[in-house]
Amino acid sequence: MLVESYSFGRIVVGGREYRSDVVVGDEIIVENWWRKEGHRVCVEDLDWLDKVDAEAVIFGTGAYGRVKVDEEVVRLLEEKGVEVIIEESSKAVEKFNELKKKGKKVVLAIHLTC
């Protein structure tokens, strides 16, 4: 399943529109992805991690890159052998689609606004 479109505050995946932050993977779609702190991703925000089999996790940090991903998150994923990619949301979507087309197991955790 690819991301069909992304614009500020809106993403379309599998023909369905989402207007709040979302996590997208082969096994899951987490709607209304809520984080402990809005513009920060910490380990506690990865409650979906055990439900996915991912080679890479891509964090979309918002249209202006305001979301910060804790080093602890990066370390945890890398220890599990998962590649971590952190990009502004439009670039994160491009990378997600590119890797999916190559047959990679990828998860996109994306902040849709700032």
In order of 54, 59, 68, 84, 105, the CA distances from 77 in angstroms are 10, 12, 15, 7, 14
Res. 82 pLDDT band, cuts 50 70 90:
very high
Q: Where are the domains of the chain?
A: 3-110
Question: Position 91: which residue type?
Answer: K
Q: How far apart are CA 24 and CA 108, in angstroms?
A: 5
3-state secondary structure of 22: strand
Asked if residues 29 and 11 have their Cβ atoms less than 8 Å apart, the reply is: no
Of 27 and 92, more confident? 92
Res. 92 pLDDT band, cuts 50 70 90:
very high
Mean pLDDT of 68-85: 98
Q: What is the pLDDT of residue 49?
A: 94
Q: What is the pLDDT of residue 27?
A: 87
Q: Which residues of 42-57 are buried (b: 16+ CB within 10 A; e: fewer)?
A: eeebbebbeebebebb
Topology of 3-110 in CATH?
A: Hypothetical Protein Mth938; Chain: A, (3.40.1230)
Is pLDDT at 89 greater than 90 in this prediction?
A: yes
Q: Note the pLDDT tens digit of each residue in 4-50.
A: 999 999 999 999 999 999 999 998 999 999 999 989 999 999 999 99
Straight-line distance from the first to the last Cα atom of the chain, in angstroms, rounded to the nearest whole number? 25
